[in-house]
Amino acid sequence: MKTVTVELGARRYPILIEAGLLTRAAGHIAPLARGRTVAIVTDENVRAHLATVQASLAGAGVASEALVLAPGEATKSWATLQQVCDWLLRLGVERGDHVVALGGGVIGDLVGFACAILKRGCGFIQVPTTLLAQVDSSVGGKTAINTAAGKNLIGAFHQPALVLIDPDVLDTLAPREVRAGYAEVVKYGLIDDAGFFDWCEANGAALLAGDAAARVEAISHAVSAKARIVAADEHETNGTRALLNLGHTFGHALEAEAGFDGSLIHGEGVAAGIALAFRYSVARGLCPPADAERVAAHVRAAGLPDGLAAAGIAASGARLVEHMRHDKKMAAGTLPFLLARGIGQTYLDRSVDLADVERFLDREPR
């Protein structure tokens, strides 16, 4: 088993990574259950994994109850948040209890937010079942729901008590979901670790094809990088954690334009957003064109969209920028952007003119 610790003082917590971990989940959940019934929230796509976790708990003499939600980004809504909170209250969940979020990023974000506000905060455990959730959203305590105005605009920082990552569950994922998660893997090499991007170029195809060793290496590297960044800037106040948003400002605008209808899922938006961020950096004279093309080529090789056309987005630059204006990172009318001076040289730029971004996007092929 690999263990990575998110160092947050008294709120430090472990991330456990091991093949087959779901079958042994009770050994890690039971100490937090306090002899009480464990509430599990999941979705329809994860029923098989739910059965595995509940069987493990039952074998350890721990009772559990499950709420199974509809899959998809639309589940991160006000209505479903109320449904989850009402269900947890009917179960009598207490502040000292730990709710299990079993699923991908949608379930993790939704359940984490519900736990942040239920009785002013109760505990929760992340059990991510997608590559994207395993390498990114399950770690760091960002929780939220979506609104008509945009993605993740209503939420809170609420750290889990434990993260259990079983790479074997990725065998049940659709290839599209694995590819989408891979976008968040590549991101870590582009932020500040050019050597890891080299690793992705050499090993990404094997990871996507199901190579177990490549999966464990990628997951371990990604969560270690994220744990380090979160420990340095938990609430995104000094700019360090903002680096994790590479590709997300563009990507979230594309997702909003697509209407969160499943035609463009989060990792695909991030992949296109990363390629756009590098091309925009070239347009501003910051990044060598060869680096931007290298990034786009790897994104394409992974079967991910590398721009507006590949993402199926035909909207004008003005419309996409309007989505950006609803970004939660807006401050005094300015939106910080993650730009790059090269591969592994991402930085936060607070001087970007949105009119310039609009012109750039209008030049992008559709």
Q: What is the DSSP string of 212-270?
A: HHHHHHHHHHHHHHHHHHHHH-TTS-SSTGGGGGTTHHHHHHHHHHHTTSSSS-HHHHH
Give the pLDDT score at 260.
85
Contacts of residue 145, Cβ cutoff 8 Å, sequence gap at least 6: 76, 77, 78, 80, 81, 109, 110, 113, 152, 154, 155
**Average model confidence (pLDDT) for the chain?**
96
Average pLDDT over residues 12-19: 98
Lowest mean pLDDT among 147-151, 246-250, 272-276, 280-284: 147-151
Of 335, 359, 343, residue with least CA distance to 284: 359
Of 150, 67, 142, residue with least CA distance to 105: 142
- Matching residue, tokens 């909170």: 85
Average pLDDT over residues 3-32: 98
Give the pLDDT score at 261.
86
Q: 6 has which bridge partners?
A: 13
pLDDT digits (tens, 9 = 90+) for 166-219: 999 999 999 999 999 999 999 999 999 999 999 999 999 999 999 999 999 999
Q: 123 has which bridge partners?
A: 98
Residue 311 has pLDDT above 90, yes or no: yes
Go through the chain and tell me how many residues it has: 366
Catalytic residues: 120, 142, 184, 226, 236, 241, 245, 248, 252, 266
Residue 7 has pLDDT above 90, yes or no: yes
Other beta carbons within 10 angstroms of residue 25's beta carbon come to 26
* Longest distance between any two alpha carbons in the chain, whole Å: 62
Angle (CA) 349 355 361, round 5°: 90
The conformation of residue 41, written as its DSSP 8-state character, comes to E
Give the pLDDT score at 343.
98
* CB distance 190 to 346 below 8 Å: yes
Average pLDDT over residues 288-313: 98
Give the pLDDT score at 148.
86
**Which two three-digit tokens encode residue 365?**
């092929």
Strand 13-17 and strand 2-6: the pairing is antiparallel
High-pLDDT (> 70) share of the chain, %: 100
Of 171, 122, 193, 138, residue with least CA distance to 15: 138
Give the pLDDT score at 217.
97
Give the pLDDT score at 255.
93
The conformation of residue 137, written as its DSSP 8-state character, comes to I
pLDDT digits (tens, 9 = 90+) for 111-143: 999 999 999 999 999 999 999 999 999 999 999
pLDDT digits (tens, 9 = 90+) for 59-71: 999 999 999 999 9
Residue 333 has pLDDT above 90, yes or no: no
Give me Rg for the CA atoms of the chain.
Answer: 20
Residue 149 has pLDDT above 90, yes or no: no
* CB distance 69 to 42 below 8 Å: yes
